[in-house]
Amino acid sequence: MKKIVLGCIADDFTGATDLANNLVRAGMRVVQTIGVPSGPLGAEVDAVVVALKSRTVPPAQAVAESLAALAWLQAQGAQQIYFKYCSTFDSTARGNIGPVTEALMDALQTNFTIATPAFPDNQRTVFKGYLFVGDVLLSESGMQNHPLTPMADANLVRVLQSQTTRRVGLIAHTVVARGAPAVRERMAQLQAEGVGVAIVDAVSNDDLLRLGPALKGMPLVTAGSGVAIALPANFGITPSDQASRLPVASGLQAVVSGSCSLATNRQVLDFMKQGHPALAIDPLRIASGADVAAEVLAWAKPLLTQGPVLVYSTADSSDVKSVQGRLGVEEAGAMVERTLAAVARGLVQLGVRQLVVAGGETSGACVQALGITQMQIGPQIDPGVPWCHAAIEPPRPALRVLAAPQGGVADLGAARRSSATTGDGGLHLALKSGNFGSDDFFTKAFTMLK
């Protein structure tokens, strides 16, 4: 099998899809894996994005997982490694962007890399080392109040310096604007001064495209997903429809939504307004012990043959707060995730082969319940959300689903692996993180697959 050229390590699941989506749009054929695979790849691609969940775990664990991903990517032939983090530079006081960057540099025996979360398509820009979200500094964007990764300082040189023993420097916009030769010159100068990691300014896609050629041959690049638009050209790869080609879609259609973001609330309303059947899940009913997943599947079964159905726990913030007040924040979240994951698994067993999942955590739970470990990345539906395709088990009788204990997750992995060899068409999946997507996202997604 042909070797991959670019190996990517992403510190969370939907961020990995976002990166993969940008690489595909720039012409690479990409597979995203959930965690570090235990064996070789099943498809011939240019890049692999290994999705970890390492953003907020203890630094030593993030380092160990990232190094395991690195070793696997190197075994697949990766010539360049891309460490991908959030475009809001989400990190705790201890890391993990600094520690992971440093560990990867050590393992790759390189003394220099860049760091830039710039993603102009999503209004993340870096200027004089300061990260802006839209028109305001990161530290005024709401991210200063994030429950897990509060970002109270927008100066990325300072933030990264506090997480690493390597010296952190800056490649300012005045340099980037002059193009790749000027960037290379500045990199050489910074290295001579003992700088190990350079924050790079970028306020537009043009800046990222000017930066791209200067990254050719660099063993390690660290960035948000923005820089991805400029890397495939370094390997002689240009945008092409071939890169996003997936098998022809078939089967029934469904949406499972556990996101309570404003955008998802609008999308749920829009789907219902267009006349499609939708069923709300009540977290308090789950807590009462009812087999909500079985009830939902019994409701969906006769409707699925007529078109897409929606199952949602999506609610506005006052309803969510009230439920959280009664059940506890984590317990409510975990209960809903378990139920929606069981619903997703049951829907696939009923014949759904085009599945949209809304919510980052919800997506993680559903993908795990479906036993999916690798996804081929296809065409973009909306910025940051592509259709993906995964091998799955052959259909099973619905009876099994309805009798399954609620929240119980069967091992579908073995069956999934067998479907990879029998080639039964697999599952088209769109995993949408909270605030992504236009109001008509759910219907638009299915129209796109026709």
333 binds ligand ADP, rule: CB under 6 A: yes
Single residue of 260, 310, 356, 366 touching ligand ADP by CB under 6 A:
260
Torsion of CA 106, 112, 115, 121, to 10 degrees: -120
The set of residues, in sequence order, having a beta carbon less than 8 Å from that of 418 and lying 6+ positions away, is 393, 394
Query: Which of 6, 105, 16, 110 shows the shortest CA–CA distance to 54?
Result: 16
Q: Cα separation of 121 and 103, whole Å?
A: 30
Do residues 112 and 196 make contact, with C-beta atoms less than 8 angstroms apart?
A: yes
Among 69, 86, 183, 336, binds ligand ADP (CB under 6 A): 336
For residue 125, the cross-strand partners are 132
Q: How far is the CB of 35 from ligand ADP (least distance, A)?
A: 18
Would you say 154 or 340 has its CB closer to ligand ADP? Answer: 340
- Peptide bond connecting 96 to the previous residue in cis, omega within 30 degrees of 0: yes
Q: With contacts defined by CB under 6 A, name the span among 219-227, 257-265, 294-302, 346-354 that binds ligand ADP.
A: 257-265
Give residues with Cβ within 8 angstroms of 273, minimum separation 6.
Answer: none
Site string for ligand ADP, 283-322 (x = CB under 6 A): x-----------------------------x-x----x--
Shortest CB 149 distance to ligand ADP, Å: 14
| Whole-number Å distance between alpha carbons of 249 and 231 | 30
Strand 124-127's sheet: what is its strand order? Answer: 124-127, 130-133, 136-137
- Nearest residue (CB) to ligand ADP, 73 versus 260: 260
Sole window of 165-173, 284-292, 331-339, 412-420 interacting with ligand ADP (rule: CB under 6 A): 331-339
Q: Going along 246-315, which residue ranges are E strands?
A: 252-257, 278-280, 309-312
Per CB under 6 A, which of residues 147..206 are in contact with ligand ADP? none
Of positions 33, 80, 225, 259, contacts ligand ADP by CB under 6 A: 259
Of 280, 284, 308, 285, whose CA–CA distance to 296 is shortest?
280
Q: How far apart are CA 229 and CA 24, in angstroms?
A: 9
Residue 243 lies near ligand ADP (rule: CB under 6 A):
no
CB of residue 332 to ligand ADP, shortest distance in Å: 4
Q: How far apart are CA 441 and CA 30, in angstroms?
A: 23
Q: b vs e for 158-168, b when ≥16 Cβ sit within 10 Å of the residue's Cβ?
A: ebbbebbebeb
Q: Out of 105, 332, 347, 355, which residue is the one contacting ligand ADP (CB under 6 A)?
A: 332
Quick one: 99 or 359, whose CB is closer to ligand ADP? 359
**Contact track, ligand ADP, 93-132, x by CB under 6 A:** ----------------------------------------
Amino acid making up residue 334: A
When asked if residue 59 is in the footprint of ligand ADP (CB under 6 A), the reply is no
Q: How far is the CB of 283 from ligand ADP (least distance, A)?
A: 5
Q: Given the complex with ligand ADP, which of 47 and 327 has the nearer CB atom? A: 327
Tokens representing 268? Answer: 């749920």
CB-nearer residue toward ligand ADP: 17 or 259:
259
Number of residues that bind ligand ADP (CB under 6 A): 21
- Tell me: does residue 278 bind ligand ADP (CB under 6 A): no
Contact (CB, 8 A) for 298 and 309: no
Judged by beta carbon, residue 147 or residue 302, the one nearer ligand ADP is 147
Please, which residue, 46 or 361, has the CB nearer to ligand ADP? 361
Cβ atoms of residues 39 and 377 within 8 Å: no
Residue 361 sits in the site that holds ligand ADP (CB under 6 A): yes
Q: How far is the CB of 425 from ligand ADP (least distance, A)?
A: 27
Measured torsion, CA atoms of residues 186, 192, 196, 200, in degrees rounded to the nearest 10: -10
Q: Give whole-number Cα distances, 19 to 48, 377, 401, in Å.
A: 10, 10, 34
Q: Which of residues 383-442 bind ligand ADP (CB under 6 A)?
A: 433-434
Q: In the complex with ligand ADP, which residue's Cβ is closer, 287 or 415?
A: 287
**Which position among 113, 164, 222, 362 is part of the footprint of ligand ADP (CB under 6 A)?**
362
| Cα angle for residues 48, 355, 225 (degrees, 5° grid) | 35
Binding site for ligand ADP (CB under 6 A): 258-261, 264, 283, 313, 315, 320, 323-324, 332-333, 336-337, 359-362, 433-434
